[in-house]
Amino acid sequence: MFSSLTGSYGSTLRYKSVERIKPIGKHSLLGASGELSDFQEILRYLDELILYDNMWDDGNSLGPKEVFNYLTRVMYNRRNKFNPLWNSLVLGGVKNGQKYLGMVSMIGVHFEDNHVATGFGNHLARPIFREEWHENMSFEDGVKLLEKCMKVLLYRDRSAVNKLQMAKITEEGVTTYKPYSLRTHWGYSAFENPTVGAEGSW
Amino acid sequence: MTKQMVEVPPKGGFSFDLCRRNAMLAKKNEGAKAPSFRKTGTTIVGLIFQDGVILGADTRATEGPIVADKNCEKIHYIAPNIYCCGAGTAADTEAVTDMVSSQLQLHRYHTGRESRVVTALTLLKRHLFNYQGHVQAALVLGGVDVTGPHLHTIYPHGSTDTLPFATMGSGSLAAMSVFEDKFKEGLTRDEGIKLVTEAICAGIFNDLGSGSNVDVCVITKGDKEYLRNHLMPNLRTYVSEKGYTFPKKTGQ
């Protein structure tokens, strides 16, 4: 799962080190876009959920499917009360060898797929995913594909910043990596003196 | 005594007199809405390759949620060496490109020289700015003239961009993601056509306003090639082998 470390305040890029991907329990990763305060509220709800589950001390733990279902119910019920949590959530996880990846929107629309994205990623990244995703991708292939999509988003989304956070979840557990930047290419010869032939153009 | 009517010369440009009447009608009777116009919810792209310009477009014209024309032509002729893809209201793109095409033809007769892309660009942007965005035509203009290959985008309000690769229309984001990923300078003709086709297919399969087939137009110095329906990825799945027989009296 990839996200950029931005927290915007309207059109100001106010916070540039906001981690928007968090591990949930032992088996899931939750990533969010939208209202950060609502995301923090969701994390509190999930914290309570995981805590109560651990208190049973029965050797069983909530897997990604269960957490996803809980989130769907929460989002849908809040929407029904006309008080939505303004987030698009991505939940991914592995339990007992079974992989799971799903998305919940702020109105409770939820689905499960091999590749999901929120916000602008739906328009820019999903076409690339649909072309280039295939079964049994290795970790390096997956990272390369995601980096490709994040680069396009960096070029074409006005609220993007070149600082990415990567998180991985496997049967062994969660690994979060240090934030890093992508290399961008601006050296097209057509970008130097573009309007030399057409005055008044941009 | 007879009333003298003063002859007022007709004013040029759009007359907005009926807008007030339309607004009043819409308010008075809830059902008297103006008919929605046919738009080309579209994916159009252009890129510059080593010998010239390649333009691409899908072929679906929509009227709200309905597909009005499943195989329309969105790459319009402007001059023998200049072509223009149009997105937005179908009537506007058609009319504006025809108008500029005939103006350029007269200009060619007058000067005796091959038309330049910047001429078409200036004519189009002046017209669109004059109408302050009411002529809803978003265009990708490309061509090769004596000064070299050129690619421009023109927005409905009259601003223009000069770019090495460009996309417009509702499917522009899907197509742009393909371009941003795979575009390089100095592509060969086949690589360029393949990239343009991939970008239009991304628009066709990921955007609801675009669909059907892919049209491609390759313009090089002194030569142009219009590949109508270059790729048809959406053929009818089931066609009855028995065929259809109509009674003899059915139509001519």
Spell out the domain ranges in chain B. 43-231
Contact A4, A182 (CB under 8 A): no
Reference A128, options B234, B41, B216, B180; nearest CA is B180
Identify which of A123, A188, A202 has the shortest CB distance to residue B174.
Answer: A123
Question: What's the whole-model pTM score?
Answer: 0.81
pLDDT band at B11 (very low <50, low <70, confident <90, very high): low
- Min distance A201 CA to chain B CA atoms (Å): 5
pLDDT, tens only, A8-54: 898 888 999 999 999 999 899 999 999 999 999 999 999 999 999 99
Looking at residue B40, its pLDDT comes to: 56
pLDDT, tens only, B82-100: 999 999 998 999 999 999 9
Mean pLDDT of chain A: 92
Is residue B212 classed as helix, strand or coil in its secondary structure? coil
- Interface contact B174-A131, CB threshold 8 A: no
Give the homologous superfamily in CATH for domain B43-231: Aminohydrolase, N-terminal nucleophile (Ntn) domain (3.60.20.10)
Structural domains in chain A plus CATH codes: 2-7+18-183 (3.60.20.10)
Reference A31, options A122, A83, A93; nearest CA is A93
- Interface contact A198-B152, CB threshold 8 A: yes
B92-100 contacts, C-beta under 8 A, 24 or more apart: B92/B135, B92/B136, B92/B137, B93/B40, B93/B137, B93/B139, B96/B124, B96/B127, B96/B128, B96/B135, B96/B137, B96/B139, B97/B137, B97/B139, B99/B127, B100/B124, B100/B127
pLDDT, tens only, B158-205: 999 998 999 999 999 999 999 999 999 889 999 999 999 999 999 999
pLDDT, tens only, B109-163: 999 999 999 999 999 999 999 999 999 999 999 999 998 999 999 999 999 999 8
Looking at residue B190, its pLDDT comes to: 94
Mean pLDDT of chain B: 87
pLDDT band at A193 (very low <50, low <70, confident <90, very high): confident
The yes-or-no verdict on residue B10 having pLDDT over 80 is no
- Min distance A88 CA to chain B CA atoms (Å): 20
The yes-or-no verdict on residue A149 having pLDDT over 70 is yes
Across A10-22, b (16+ Cβ under 10 Å) vs e yields eeeeeeeeeebbb
- Min distance A19 CA to chain B CA atoms (Å): 25
Looking at residue B195, its pLDDT comes to: 95
Q: Mind telling me the catalytic residues of B?
A: 42
pLDDT, tens only, A89-122: 999 999 998 999 999 999 999 999 999 999 899 9
- Interface contact A130-B147, CB threshold 8 A: no
Identify which of B118, B162, B173 has the shortest CB distance to residue A123.
Answer: B173
Q: Which residues pair with B151 in a beta bridge?
A: B142
Collect all residues from A whose CB is shorter than 8 A from any CB in B. 120, 123-128, 130-131, 148-149, 151-152, 155-156, 188-191, 194-195, 197-198, 200-202
Please provide the DSSP assignment of A149-178 as one string.
HHHHHHHH-TT--S-EEEEEEETTEEEE--
